[in-house]
Structure 1
Amino acid sequence: MIGVDVGGANLKVIDNGGAATVHYCPLWRGAPIVDLLSSYAGQEAAVVMSGELADCFSSKGEGIVFIVEQIRAVLPGARFYGTDGRFHDGPDPSLAAANWLASADWLRETHPDAVLLDVGSTTADIVPLGDFGALLGLTDLLRLQRGYLRYTGLLRTTIPAIVREVEIEGVSTPVSSEFFAQTADVHLVLGHIGPDEYLCDAPDRGPRTREGGLRRLARTVCADLGEIGEKEVIGIARQVWEAQRDEVANAVRAAVEGSGAREVVAAGIGARLFAPVVGGRELPDLADALPAHAVRALACRNGET
């Protein structure tokens, strides 16, 4: 059996041996789910999703139907995990954004006193694991309202979503609301990731290099790199990182205090960077595919074959 997590930007697969593969798969550009899964054709599969929210769909319901049909075209026996904590054969409203719950369902027995922090390319899930029943049925709207979902990630978050102004040579400077740069540029410039870890398109479709990142970040204050210089652009990157770091840390702190958790466990491509910030520890060998690992394990445990 394989595990599949269909996000809006990435398709993650755990194969029969437990190895993870991450495909950049932007649904809003008509990414070929069937082609990407063709090498697994006919295998048993357990699936979670969050890509139904992509704005190429008129509603989450339409997105769910599309994803289920694409998956079943190549994996006809696939089973889909929902926010009701159950597996389904076909489209169901509960399938919307159930990937985080699969992770919680899998980890709750081994980490009952923990808060899970899963930082991906786009979002950060903050999930108290001590009361699984209280998590059932939570939509992304409810998770946003409860502080369990922060729309900030390692790669794809826009700069004005994190800061509205930065200091340049001691002068408070508003940032442009244009999509000139993203957090991948921040973390690349600061050395938190390498060019090979810049696993999405750059906003300008330009080179995913440190030089490219510096140029894009300068543009967030309507400047050229040569106009303000590398030192000031690095300063912009640091200010954005500090604001993002504090946002995530504050959300985790609130979840720990509210749930009485005794530890924080971290997963996702941002785990290495954020675990020390929140006083947590990384879950081993889970990389950026925890929900795919989890849904596969749950299906095997529950006999969903």
Structure 2
Amino acid sequence: MNKKKSQKLYLGWDVGGAHTKLSVIKPNSSSFHIYRCHLWESLDLLSKLVNSVCSKYNKRFIIINVITMSGEMSDIFKSRDQGVKDILNIFKSRGDENYVFSSKKPFFFKPKAITNTKSVSSMNWLATAKFLETCVNNAIAVDIGSTTTDIIIIKNGVCKNMGYDDFSRLSRSELIYTGILRTPLFAVTNQVINSKHRFPVIPEYFSNMSDIYRIMSDIDSRKDYSNSCDHRGKTYMNSLVRFARSLGFDYQPQHERKLKNLAKEIKLIQKSFIMEKIIATMENNFLKKEKINLIGLGIGSFLVREICHKTKLAYKDFNTFYNGNANKLFLPSDIAPAYSISMLLKFKNEQN
């Protein structure tokens, strides 16, 4: 066998409904990627992506795919159960070595061994938790993505989350449907007040939170990977136009300062909402005297950092658990579940 072909390549896949995140772990290097892949449009998009990535590497490496997901809830599937099966079938159709992350020990299974898809469905948050169990003792990890926020509790080196599926996690505020790109403004607030004036927010998909953070210069344009609501450019000016439309008027240059102030208020509303959930989680799981870190993950990790600054909590970046080159567009914190499963399986195989 060719020497290079004898080397193993770990591909960690986190298949979401809107985006698929990929961790590529080579023997001596790594890379991290986020692909726009709208499952609700066609499952062929995921199939083409998987084939393209695997074909790129299969002549040089033994490919080991490791899969977690949340995209099974996409409305292209008749049920979550069918969604898990259809997503896994895309990987099974190839001749690569495939493993699925499950909530059941020993956590990694061949796809054909999965008899209960509930142990796989939307378990990407748990993949991150299992990785963090190997890194920290007491911490709350907050993964703020494009659409959702995951709160993960690690106490004495063990994940203490009470919820597992979406329903139970939502009811316990361990899963919050708010993110910094795709979340529509009206899901954050129905009005914003500035200088004693009330501005109702129209409940229509005219703009989303990416416009707010674009106006606030909080997101790197290279990481701004979601579509705009009107499918026009993701510029500062276009965001002002979309934001004004959500408030019921057409943008004019004299509105710029007002809109920037209103954007600041909406950001504060979302940040305060997330902060309240974090503080409640902390109070419910830790004593005041216990030292804990708040770990920031996802494209919205900057909000976690800001929350720590306001509350005087200790902030820890997820990327401190990565020893590779940090001068990359996307880092492990941007794709934590995909990175976590690729590293966990690699560690496990190297120990055997």
Same structural fold, with TM-score higher than 0.5 when normalized by the shorter chain: yes
User: Which residue of structure 1 aligns with residue 109 of structure 2?
Assistant: 88
Q: Write the deviation string for residues 101-151 of structure 1: whole angstroms up to 9, x where unpaired.
A: 010001113212001111111111111012746448710111111111111
Distance 1:281 1:137, change over 3 A: closer
User: Which residue of structure 2 aligns with residue 183 of structure 1?
Assistant: 209
Partner AA of 2:54 in structure 1: Y
In structure 1, stretches of 5+ residues that fail to align are none
1:266 lines up with 2:296 in the alignment: yes
- Is residue 162–residue 169 contact of structure 2 (8 Å, CA) maintained in 1? no
Distance 1:228 1:147, change over 3 A: farther
- The alignment covers a number of residue pairs equal to 305
Identify the range of structure 1 (164-173 vs 127-136) with the bigger mean alpha-carbon deviation. 127-136
User: Which residue of structure 2 aligns with residue 57 of structure 1?
Assistant: 77
Give the deviation of 1:54 after TM superposition: 1.4
1:203 lines up with 2:224 in the alignment: no
1:281 lines up with 2:316 in the alignment: yes
1:73 lines up with 2:73 in the alignment: no
- Is residue 294–residue 304 contact of structure 2 (8 Å, CA) maintained in 1? no
User: Which residue of structure 2 aligns with residue 121 of structure 1?
Assistant: 146
Q: Write the deviation string for residues 22-71 of structure 1: whole angstroms up to 9, x where unpaired.
A: 11111112261122122324511111101111122221112111211122
Aligned pairs for 1:8-87 (under 5 A) are 8-17=17-26, 18-30=30-42, 32-37=45-50, 38-41=52-55, 43-74=63-94, 76-85=96-105, 86-87=107-108
1:110 lines up with 2:135 in the alignment: yes
- Is residue 119–residue 267 contact of structure 1 (8 Å, CA) maintained in 2? yes
User: Which residue of structure 2 aligns with residue 192 of structure 1?
Assistant: 218
Give the Cα separation in 1 of the matches to 2:244 and 2:273. 23
SS in structure 1 of the partner of residue 307 of structure 2 = coil
Give the Cα separation in 1 of the matches to 2:109 and 2:143. 25
In structure 2, stretches of 5+ residues that fail to align are 1-9, 320-330
Give the deviation of 1:94 after TM superposition: 1.3
- Is residue 163–residue 174 contact of structure 2 (8 Å, CA) maintained in 1? no
Give the deviation of 1:169 after TM superposition: 5.3
Partner AA of 1:269 in structure 2: I
- Is residue 84–residue 137 contact of structure 1 (8 Å, CA) maintained in 2? no
Give the Cα separation in 1 of the matches to 2:110 and 2:163. 18
SS in structure 2 of the partner of residue 138 of structure 1 = coil
Give the deviation of 1:211 after TM superposition: 0.7
Question: How much identity, in percent, do the aligned residues show?
Answer: 26
SS in structure 2 of the partner of residue 156 of structure 1 = coil
Partner AA of 1:265 in structure 2: I
The structure whose Rg is larger is 2
- Is residue 83–residue 97 contact of structure 1 (8 Å, CA) maintained in 2? no
Identify the range of structure 1 (50-59 vs 129-138) with the bigger mean alpha-carbon deviation. 129-138
1:234 lines up with 2:254 in the alignment: no
| TM-score (norm: length of structure 1) | 0.93
Partner AA of 1:125 in structure 2: D
- Is residue 82–residue 98 contact of structure 1 (8 Å, CA) maintained in 2? yes
User: Which residue of structure 1 aligns with residue 269 of structure 2?
Assistant: 243
Distance 1:75 1:138, change over 3 A: farther
Distance 1:66 1:181, change over 3 A: same
Give the Cα separation in 2 of the matches to 1:84 and 1:165. 44
Give the Cα separation in 2 of the matches to 1:135 and 1:169. 41
RMSD: 2.2
- Is residue 129–residue 159 contact of structure 2 (8 Å, CA) maintained in 1? no
